[in-house]
Structures are given as structure tokens and as C-alpha cells.
Structure 1
């Protein structure tokens, strides 16, 4: 081998070792940076004729694993949906109260029943009569607060959907900018940014990513392009205060892409139901209204239990009793919003000009009942504890007392919460395992990179020694000449 060939090989080896060292050092420095994919230096042999004269650095390659990345983003979208669903379920448990909690629905029912029994034991006591009225008002407040909290939860979900839609639109615009870059400017750093943007969008709205000739395409679950040559705008309008009767389309907004309906809770063919935004729509349009239906069912049951002349002989058969929905006649069926319309009958409410003695004597009484007469109070106790058919909204088969009904609702909400937490944990575990599998291929293993540095150092030293040896030999030849 000639001196020139040896020098060429050694110099190319030094250049390659230098770039490899820089790349490896960069890998180590970015090992903990989220979204960073390992870089590898691509080398090729330099050949003149049939003789190798060293190596050339082709470039720096960003390591990818399309299959593992696709699996990861699919599981991360599921994790995002499950986590948001679990948050909603936890909020619903807080609205109705933990099982046995005295500040929730179950506790309010127990307090009211206890006040009736205390009053029945001493019927003439105005103190115990006042406690019945106070505990009834407390029960009404619990219903009203639960209804308002549910409305607020729907409003918060609606506002968060609006914020997330704006966030996704901004990220799509940035991806459009990246698609417009010339190929020479598409560096590994740009590709890292692009993948991070895809990941963030996918957690909100699940997408499938396609790379066609260097152009990234994003397609929603329902098959709608969110990013083609250009970004497609996602449209959503937030609603201010959300009332009990608000539903999708009247006045609640759906989700569209260039006019195509992709609303997760809608019935359109292109709907996209996963990700965080899907869970928020589910909360706003399905889960929370479902709880409100149960609250309405319980409120209707409460009003109807004390209505009519069977429970209170001093009123007509169609009259409301101790509890009303704001009307003098009792409703014949549950309806949307009755839980927040619940009131104490004005006839027994001192604040409305009523008299407490009517709790003992009856709603239509004009004078107190004889001292020690607890007949009407016992009828109220019997009505509260009577095994009655549950309102359809509660989804409970068979007959149950008022306390049993609220216990069933409380248990159902708590059970749904527990299941949602389990589902979220499962989804989180699967997503984490997918991340670890992907990182094992595309991530930075610092131990491996440090070993690479040692090998690069050895290669650099070997090439440097070749150059030094040639230099010494040339010096000798020069002296001999």
C-alpha cells in the first residue's frame, strides 16, 4: 500500500471517528430528553477502482421503529382516554359522596329519616319538628348542590374541549410548516419535533400517521384527514353556562373537520371517539347527564313518596306532600331537572309563612294535632321506608325503600369509579410497557454509548498512530535523500 493510500485511509478514519464521537456525546447528553431518538452515524466505503481508500460519512441517521411507535401512540391514546374517564368518575363520586359519608346524599337521607323518628317519639315537640324541616331543607340543598356540581362538571368539560381543539389546531399548523420545509432542512431535530407534535395531538385526538414522500399525513379514527398537504381546521364552539336540559346540538357544540362531523358522542360515520377529547365529550354528553338522570329519579321518588291523601289525609290525592317540585300538585313522572327544582312544601316552611305543626298534623291542617299524636309522623316514616318500584331512570329492578334507592345509586357510582380507576391503571401500564419497548430500540442506552466512545477512542488512536508512523517514515526517507 502506498503512503498516499495509507494517509487517505487514516485521515478518513480520523474524520469518521470525530463525527461518531460528537454524535455519541450528543446521544448521552440528550438521553433524558423526552422525544429524543438516538442518532447513528452512517458510513460508506470509499473505493477508487477496486481499491478501498477509507470511509466516508454519509450522514447522521435518526433511529426509528415505525411498528413500535405506531403501537405506542395507539396505547397512549387509550391511556389518555382512560385517565380522563377515571377523573370524571372520581368527580361523580365526590358529587354524590363516598358510601356512608354524612355530607353526601346517603348521609342526608339518613339524617332526614332519623329526624322523622325522633319527632314521632315526641310528636308535640316543636324542636323535633324544626329538625325535620331543617333536615328536609338539608336534603334539598344536597340535591341542588349535586345538580349544580354536575352542571359545572359538564361546563368544565366543554371549556376544556375548546382549549384542546385550539391546541391541536396550533400543532397541526406547525406540522404543516414542517411539511413545507425543503428536504435539505429536515434534520433529525426537526423529525424529533415532528414526532413530539404527533404524540401530543394523538393523546388528544387519536391519529394514524403516514409518511408519503417525506410529507406527513395525519388521519383521525374515523378516517378524516387532519393533516394532508395542509392542516385541516377542527371546529368547536364552547358554551357558557350549561343547564340541565342542554344536549348535543341544543345548544352544545359538536366537533367538525372542514365541515365533516367527527363528534365522539354523535352518530356520524366519521366520529372519533378516543383520546382525551373523546373522554371529555363522553363526560359532557353521556356520563354526567346519566348521573343527573339518577338524581332526578331520586328526587321524583322523594316527592311522590309523600304525595297524596294515602300518606297525608289532610290533602287531596293529587297534591304534593312534604316535598314539592315548586307546584302544589305532585308530578306523575320523573322529568329532566326535578332534582334542582326540589322544595320544601311552603305550608311547613316558616320562611314561606308556613307552620311547623303541620309536620305533625298534616300539610292541610289548620291547627296542631293533639299532644302525643304521632299518627301523621308515623305515616311519613312508613312512606319513606316503603318498598316501592324504582323510577326507570335509576335502572334498579324491583322494589326498594328511599334509603335503599340512594344506597343503590351511591354504590353504582362508587363501583363505576373503582372500575374506571382500574381501567386507567391497566391502560397506563400498557402504555408504559409500549414506551419501554420502543425506547429499547430507538432510545439512548448510556452504557452502550459509553462503550461506543471507548471503541471510537481506540479507532481514533489507531488512525492517529498510522499518520504518525507515516510521518516518521517520510522524515527518515527525507534524511536519507
Structure 2
């Protein structure tokens, strides 16, 4: 349209686009401190011109092409991966740190010190085999030692149980987040069909994905609407645009039956035949086979908890083997030449000897029955048996290690793993901080820039308003002040 009415339309389009651009800048400013917000940009383009013969094309104004988020999807993907690795080592370091506290070395009250105390008690008994006080010291110090072993074993077992409980809780939270993502997918699709790009919903999507990445290693693909068209945990697809497959947790397997916390909810435990579970401890239900298939999580909070649980289990088994070897060897040495009864009672559970080990109840009741000499009726002053028991503490086994060296080996393994986790946490946190800073520099709101835009678009608005006023005055002159 040419003429004054065409100019009127041009100015009106300028007013409308300036108003939208001002609103976008205002939206950015108001969300300066909103976590996960990505600044938005109003993209403008000229409207189609019209042609005047002999003159050429004449512009018809401006329109808003779209409003886009300023993001770098690659940086956000890298941030999610770094976040996942950081949480993995953070969880692992935390659990192994608690295990390190239970070992409590070095300390005057820890196990190595108590082993030295027992060695000294047996050595003194070998020098004073008839002295009742020396026998009492051996029995009492050994009882204190077994009590410490029992408490340590119980604490380590409880720590593993607590970590396993944390796994179930984390899986429950992960399922909740993925359910939220499923709902958000639908909102994004509905909004895209009616209103175009869903910038604020896409920010919510990215925040959710970052939360999910902190729990597990994920990979994602997106469709044209911005929905998560496929989300995998490890190599297992658990979400697409049509389906969501919740994760469950294997709690225990006993006598051919397996208990599963459905969707990680410990109040919804089902018992199934062990043959209906393929692996563990994390599984998803396969509707086609009617079985639970294993799912592997190697990163994130859940991955760290699983790795820590496995290491705690290994340290507990090594600790139990160390106690079994030491107690068995001492029993064998003490039982030489027909002495009555073992010194230690190992209990009836081979897998939990450390938790059940006790000094022979008969000796606890009457320490005077403790034998110090060789044979069934040792001579007075014979302390050879006590000396042999004391020497067993420094004797090397078939692996060329003493009792203390076996125990130190367990502590060292845990210490090295804990140190590695601590160092990796620091390294990953540095990487994560750099990526988050890079993301903030791209997508964060720059107040100076937004204020500059506000000034620029407000001036454009005022200029277009001035054009409208001028056209209005010209139309008034044309209509009311011309003619007869």
C-alpha cells in the first residue's frame, strides 16, 4: 500500500516490533538471577516490499521473525557430561571416606595398636607363664580386640546397607525427574503447535537434563520441537516421545527368590523368581519377555554409589578373610601339643567371622585356664606356647605377609581409591566450573547489554510514534483543510 496509509502501516509495524523487543529485554532483565535461564533475542526482518513502476521497490516496514534462546547446545552437552563425572567421584569419595573413618588408622585406639597390645601381652605371658595377671591381660586385651573387630565389621556392613539404600532413593528420584521430563515433552509439543518455539519450556528441559545427568550417565536426542525424543541411561533407552520405562532396584536374592524395589520405591517391593532377573542391581522391566533386564549406570550419583558399594563389599570380604586367617592361625598355634579348645570362637557364619569373633567363653570366664606352656601338662615356668603365639604376629604367611601387613593392605587399597576419587573430584569440578562459566558467558543475561537494548528500542518506539503523529497531522491537513 502506497501513500500516507502505507506510511501509517510502516510506523505501526515499527511500534509493534519495538514493543515486543522491549518486552523481551525486560523479560531478560527480570530473569537475571533465575537459575538455568537463557537470555532471549528478538530477531527482526523487513516485510515484503511493493513495487512502484518507474520507481522501484518501496519498503513496507518490519516484523518479528522469531524470538530465540541464545545457547550453545554443545557446551550444555559437555556440561552435563562433566556434571555426571563430578557427581560420580563425589559420591564415591564420600562413601569411601566414611569407610576410612571406620578403619580409623593411624590411632592409639585403632586395630593396629590393639594388635601390638595383644602381642605385648603374649610376650609378657611367655616371660611370666604362672602369673595370673599376665593371663588376664591376654584375655582382656584380646576381648577388647574382638569387640573392636565386631564393631568395625558391623559398621562396614551398615555402611554398605546405607549406600544401597541411597541407590534406591536416587533411582526413585531419577524416575521422578524423567516422569517430569515426559510431561514437559508434551507441553513443548503442544506449545510448539500453537505458539511456536517454547523458549522458557526449553530452559526447563535443560535444567531437568542437568539434574538427571547428576544422577546417571545419559545420552539424548531432540526432535524438531525441542522435545527429548530419546533418552538413554547407559545403553538402555528409558524414554522416547511415546514411552517411559522406569528403573527398579534389586534389593536381595535368597533361595531362588529376588526382591525388587519397583521404580526404586522401597515401599513397593515385589518378590519374583530369580530366573526372571537378568543381572542387577539396576533393572528395567521388559514387557516382551516378562523379565527384568539389567541396566548399567557408570556415572553420576547412582554410578558413584554403585561403585562405592562394590568397593565396600570387597574391603569387607578382605577384612573378613584377614580376621579368619589371623584367628585360625592363632588357634592352630595355641592348640599345638594337645591344649584344650581354641583361643578364638569363629562363630558359625564363614562370611561374617569378623562380626562374630569372640575369645573362647571358657577363657573369658576363667583366664587362669589359659595355657602358656607346651603340652597338656606343661612344666612350671614353661612359656614356650605363649612365645609361639606372640611370634605368630611377626610370622609371614604363604603370601609373604604378616597379620599387620594384610590389614595395612586393606587400608591402603581404600586410601588409594579415596585419594584418586578426591583428586578426580577436584579435576572434574574445575572442568565443570569452566564449562558453566562458558555457558554463562553465552547464555547469561548481560545487564549492560540489555539496558542498551532497552534504550535502543525505546528510541525506536518513540521515533515510530513520531512518524505516526506526523502522518496523523498530514491526514488531518488533507482531509479537513483542503478542498472548497
How far is 1:93 from its partner?
0.6
Query: Secondary structure at the residue paired with 2:60?
Result: strand
Q: How does 1:181-330 map to 2 (within 5 A)?
A: 181=187, 182=190, 183=192, 184=194, 187-214=198-225, 215-237=227-249, 239=251, 254-259=281-286, 271-284=296-309, 286-308=310-332, 310-315=333-338, 321-326=342-347
TM-superposed CA distance for 1:287, in Å, is: 0.8
- Count the aligned residue pairs: 448
Q: C-alpha distance in 2, partners of 1:217/1:80?
A: 25
Distance of 2:419 and 2:318 partners within structure 1: 19
Of 329, 337, 341 in structure 1, the residue corresponding to residue 356 of structure 2 is 341
The match for 2:108 among 78, 102, 112 is: 102
Q: 2:252–2:259: 8 Å Cα contact kept in structure 1? A: no
Cα distance between partner residues in 2 of 1:188 and 1:202: 21
Query: Could you give the per-residue CA deviations for residues 399-418 of structure 1, whole angstroms, max 9, x where no partner exists?
Result: 22222332232233222211
Matched residues in 2 for 1:420 and 1:363: separation? 51
Describe the SS at the equivalent of 1:208: strand
Following superposition, the deviation at residue 296 of structure 1 comes to 1.2
Instruction: Give the structure-2-normalised TM-score.
Output: 0.81
With over 3 angstroms needed to count, the CA separation of the structure-2 counterparts of 1:145 and 1:178, relative to structure 1, is: same
Query: 1:426-477 CA distances to partner (integer Å, 9 max, x unpaired)?
Result: 1222222222222222222333323333333333343344445555666777
Say yes or no: does 1:65 pair with 2:77: no
Cα 1:13–1:138 change in 2 (3 A) is farther
C-alpha separation in 1, matches of 2:130 and 2:253? 46
Contact 1:312–1:379 (CA under 8 A) maintained in structure 2: no
Tell whether the 8 Å contact from 1:348 to 1:356 is kept in structure 2 after alignment. yes
Aligned to 1:36: 37
Q: Match for residue 54 of structure 2?
A: none
The CA deviation at 1:256 is: 2.2
- Deviation at 1:312? 4.8
- 1:139 to 1:478, Cα distance in 2 relative to 1, 3 A: same
| Cα distance in 2 between the residues matched to 1:364 and 1:151 | 40
User: Equivalents in 1 of 2:468, 2:127: separation in Å?
Assistant: 108
Are 2:319 and 2:407, in contact at CA under 8 Å, matched by a contact in 1?
Answer: no
Matching residue of 1:449: 450
Q: Do the aligned partners of residues 8 and 401 (structure 1) sit closer, same or farther apart at CA in structure 2, a change above 3 Å counting? A: same
Q: Is the 8 A contact 2:86 2:428 kept in 1?
A: yes
**1:346-365 paired onto structure 2 within 5 Å:** 346-350=361-365, 355-359=366-370, 361=372
Structure 2 unmatched runs, 5+:
51-56, 261-273
TM-score (norm 1): 0.81
- How big is the shift at 1:325? 0.8
Q: Which residue of 2 aligns with 1:52?
A: 59
Tell me: CA distance 1:173–1:407, structure 2 relative to 1, closer, same or farther (3 Å): closer
1:178 maps to 2:202: no
